[in-house]
Amino acid sequence: KQEVTQIPAALSVPEGENLVLNCSFTDSAIYNLQWFRQDPGKGLTSLLLIQSSQREQTSGRLNASLDKSSGRSTLYIAASQPGDSATYLCAAPNSGGSNYKLTFGKGTLLTVNP
Amino acid sequence: KAGVTQTPRYLIKTRGQQVTLSCSPISGHRSVSWYQQTPGQGLQFLFEYFSETQRNKGNFPGRFSGRQFSNSRSEMNVSTLELGDSALYLCASSLGQGFSVTQYFGPGTRLLVL
């Protein structure tokens, strides 16, 4: 059974700081891993999807890495802004191979202070 | 392109009643997944439908059921509601095949059971 853990549970940083969010998963036989963002009371917004054949994926100020052998992924946010304040979730497919049955971590609540 | 839409956005029900939630996926997407989000358990996978067939199922009791129509719209039904069913119910759509597995989430339906 896939288990996903995110550390830290909450993070508060001043504007402009670079930061790293961590995600670990127990079953490394995955084809991909996704990072999402959730604003309070809203649905999830897909940020990045990393295929198992990739080590990194970038979108603007976001960079996600995937290390299957160690069961870890990181989301790097450069030059953070107050608008980045949200909960960040990582999700890995469940054991058994289906890409559409995701296990989510509990998320990291990020606050970027002006 | 219109995003994933969910109706209704908010619902209040009493214990023992049943409820039906609706999800319209992004045009061209054939996979629809449902998730339950609560403060204690986080996001948990309910089921996934592809081309009108349930392809994946989570560990929820039989009171939770779903279906998908030929236009890919999906409904989720919860019978004999319990207080613990109060949650944000999210649906997500994706193409459902190939390597493009990114899931796009709707805004959710917030269900309160009294």
Q: If DSSP states are collapsed to H, E and C, what string results for B8-24?
A: CCEEEECCCCCEEEEEE
Quick: pLDDT tens for B29-45. Answer: 999 999 999 998 999 99
Taking contacts as CB-CB distances below 8 angstroms, the residues of chain B near A49 are 101-102
Which phi and psi (to 5°) does residue A83 adopt? -65, -10
Say whether residue B43 is in contact with chain A using an 8 A CB cutoff. Answer: yes
Average pLDDT over residues B84-93: 96
Is pLDDT above 70 for A97?
A: no
Half-sphere exposure of A61 (CA within 13 A, CB side): 12
Indicate the residue of A43, A46, A100 with minimum beta-carbon distance to B107.
A43
Taking contacts as CB-CB distances below 8 angstroms, the residues of chain B near A36 are 105
> What is the C-alpha R_g of chain B?
13
Length, in residues, of chain A: 114
B60-83 core/surface letters (b: 16 or more CB in 10 A; e: else): beeebbbebeeebebbbebeebee
Query: Sorting pLDDT into bands at 50, 70 and 90, what band is A98?
Result: confident
Average pLDDT over residues A46-59: 91
Average pLDDT over residues A3-31: 94
Chain A: nearest CA to B25, how far in angstroms? 14
Q: Mutate which of A5, A99, A103 to disrupt the B interface (most B C-beta within 10 Å)?
A: A99
Is pLDDT above 80 for A88?
A: yes
Position of tokens 């392109």?
Answer: B1
